[in-house]
Chain A
Amino acid sequence: MSTRVHWLLGGVVLAVGFSVSPVAAQVDFSGEWAPRFWEDQPERVPGPDLGDYAGIPISDAARLRAEAWDASIQSLPEWQCRPHSADYIWRGPSNLRISKEVDPVSREVTAFHAEWLRSVDRAVYLDGRPHPPEDALHTWAGFSTAKWDGDVLVVTVTHLKEGYLRRNGLPRSDKATLTEHWMRNGDFLTVLTTITDPVYLTEPLVRSTDYELNVGQQIPPYPCGVVQELDRDSHKVPHYLPGTNPYTTEYAIRQGLPVEGTRGGAETMYPDFAKKMKTLSPPRKPDPPPAAPATPRARAN
């Protein structure tokens, strides 16, 4: 074998060696990322319909809570200025900045920080620190640590405050944990989130969301002030008593869908449910209100 061939083979080996990432791979996720709405656009912008729980493996308890939910609760002082939690904010409409922390001596990336328009700082630690004790404070961002699996960053999130699976009242409990897989393909970032909630989910909820690098992007400040929004008792908690929420079937009626198809549950995640849908009848549209009798004044006009 000629020296030239030896060099060629050596080059191939080196090239392969560099292309296969070591266990401690370090893909750079830092940068400015713009959301791409290729998945579940209507749910994200403008937002989900009331009463649409399809595709979410919720428990009966979650459905009951959602049916008691009144959007007006978000006008309470304690609810204003809340950001989306770590599991939901990927699905929000806001842009994302990821920065990295680098150890000045070893030059290893020790943490990533994710920040959205309306979020708190979300730190993801790669330095091997343990999670806090279970009874430490829970936060919107939770507590995140990560490990590399090849080029994929696998993030474990605990200590989440209560949040929501869908922002139409479907709750996610503070007992939930989140696993994320961050994957970068050139200028695209895909994040796969898996939520496990022993309280309000019967199976893990898996969602993927895409972002695209946008080097010209700037995340502006987003201060938030709490105000008294309505002239009512500041301690009133808006909600519907069981059986009184008029909006639970609104979505099904408008879309002409069987109500069972909008109620959510693990069954609604799987393709076989489409067969069941064909056997169900959509709800009858309510009769239009009777026309008001014309008044003498109206007749005069």
Chain B
Amino acid sequence: MSLVSFRAALVLSALTGVGAVPAWGQAAAAATAVRILPVRGHVFVLQGAGGNITASVGRDGVLLVDAGSANTTDQVLAAIRQLQQRLDQREQPLGFGAETRSSVAARYVEAPPKPIRYIINTHFDPEHVGGNEKLRSAGKTFTGGNVAGNIADAAEGAAILAHENVLQRMTTPDAGETATPTNAQPTDTYYADTMKLSHFFNGEGVQLIHQPSAHTNGDSVVYFRGSDVIAAGDLYSTISYPVIDTAHGGSIDGVIAGLNKILDLSISEFRTEGGTLVIPGHGRISDAADVAYYRDMVVILRDRIKSMVDREMTLDEVKAARPTADYEPRYGAQTGAWTTDAFVEAAYTSLGGGRRPAPPARRPAARPGR
């Protein structure tokens, strides 16, 4: 299945929750319960809902990085409720957002935890944004004043934050895709290099950092600055070669730049281990050393494929040369959503493969007499 048709199928499934889902997506979503893995403090990762969901669950409410697939939202909501109940049993720390006023006095009867307030989309992929609509509906935006006065439904549902290219992608679907429902679209977008929540949330700043032309043209890395946790979206995976959506602005050089940006943000705790923790779009919790191994691999494979592009090898010749052979048992796949061939093709295309330069113009004949 080509990347385009694969994505079209995923989009359809994300919107409907049923139907033309590729085999792996449906099986993984239906058969697997959502699992909760603690990351650090009030930050958790929810797995088994398609892409990884990073969740900040605290006194200020719930902030989700990505929303999983459409057909797993009930399980995601159940996992969030479980985390909120745990929260009630914890001792109340100080210093949270203004509306929580947790520092005013010790209270022995807890107010119900606040709902989902933010959903951040790291990019547009159905297994990351499929749950937008339902999770947003389960949440709430805290607002007031002129906003609430002028926009009647401003408080309805959680806010959805993303780079503006995600909104662009949702509102201008590819041929065969259906437009994303309005309630599943980002409510707040940004077009600059970065976007910050305007206030602390669950005791820390949260920053979205745009990485252009990487997995797609709308990637955001989300940095929890107090917890020192980075949600990398599909810039980083521990289960496959990077997925590069060249049809929507992705490139292997952009992926490498994004991985380097994550490394530049990261500080290890001791001996290049621990410290900043990185949540991949798919796979296991990581730190800078893991990201460095992955970055090394992507650079090495990029350099190999680039050298073949420079020698004007065709795509078939590059595939036959097996530039990924040494990483194949770890990251390769012959079947499924993202095969080795698909990765090689995406890397080849984004490095200019197949676009042979025009032959040099013939020199004009020397003028007689010169």
Closest beta carbon of chain A to B328's beta carbon, Å: 6
A68 within 8 A of B: yes
Q: Is A68's CB under 8 angstroms from B272's CB?
A: no
List B contacts of A135 (CB < 8 A). 35, 37, 45, 47, 283-285
Contact assessment for B296 and A73 in the assembled complex, using a CB-CB cutoff below 8 Å: yes
The answer for the CA separation of A76 and B268 in the assembled complex, in Å, is 14
Smallest CB-CB separation from A200: which chain B residue? B329
Which among B45, B271, B284 is the interface contact of A138 at CB below 8 angstroms? B284
Which candidate, B22-30, B99-107, B163-171, B299-307, is the interface stretch facing chain A? B299-307
Complex interface: chain A residues within 8 A of B45 (CB) = 135
Residues on A with C-beta less than 8 A from B292 are 76, 78-79
Expressed in whole angstroms, the Cα–Cα distance for A137 and B238 within the complex equals 11
Cβ-defined partner of B284 (8 Å) among A83, A134, A239: A134
List A contacts of B289 (CB < 8 A).
Answer: 78, 82, 140, 161
Task: For the complex, give the distance between the alpha carbons of A284 and B142 in Å.
Answer: 78
Asked whether B260 is an interface residue with its Cβ less than 8 Å from the other chain, the reply is yes
Interface residue from B263, B273, B300 paired with A140 (Cβ < 8 Å): B273
A82-B328 CB under 8 A given contacts A76-B292, A237-B296? no
Give A161 to B238 CA distance when docked, in angstroms. Answer: 12
B327 at interface by CB-CB < 8 Å: yes
Within 8 A of B (CB), among A232-247: 235, 237, 239, 241-242
Q: Closest Cβ of chain A: how far from B255's Cβ, in Å?
A: 13
Which residues of chain A come closer than 8 Å to B219, judged between CB atoms?
Answer: none
Contacts of B287 in A (CB 8 A): 137
Encoded as 1 (CB less than 8 Å from any B CB) or 0, chain A from 107 to 127 comes to 000000000001110000000
Contact with A along B257-285 (1 / 0, CB 8 A): 00010010000101111100100000111
Chain A contacts of B328 at CB under 8 A? 61
User: In whole Å, how far is B268's beta carbon from the nearest beta carbon of chain A?
Assistant: 8
The listed residue (A65, A139, A237) touching B273 by CB distance below 8 A is A139
Interface residue tally of chain A, by bracket? 35 or more
Q: How far is the CA of A83 from the CA of B286 in the complex (A)?
A: 17
Partner of A82, one of B260, B272, B277, B296: B272
Contact of A161 among B260, B270, B290, B326 (CB under 8 A): B290
Question: Would A83 and B271 count as touching, CB distance under 8 A?
Answer: yes
CB contacts (< 8 Å) of A78 on chain B: these are 263, 272, 288-289, 291-292, 295
A64 within 8 A of B: yes
Q: Is the CB of A137 within 8 A of B326?
A: no
Q: Is B330 an interface residue (CB 8 A)?
A: yes
Give the residues in chain B near A79, CB-CB below 8 Å: 272, 292
CB-based contact A62/B284 at 8 Å: no
Docked CA distance A239–B274 (Å) = 26
How far apart sit A140 and B37, CA to CA, in the bound complex (Å)?
20
Which of B271, B296, B300, B323 makes the CB contact (< 8 A) with A224? Answer: B271
> A93 within 8 Å of B by Cβ?
no
Q: Which residue of A lies closest to B299 (CB)?
A: A237
Task: Tell me which residues from 319 to 344 in chain B have a Cβ below 8 Å from any Cβ of chain A.
Answer: 323, 325-330
The 10 sampled A-B contact pairs (Cβ below 8 Å) are A59-B329, A61-B325, A78-B289, A135-B47, A135-B284, A136-B285, A173-B330, A175-B330, A241-B307, A242-B304
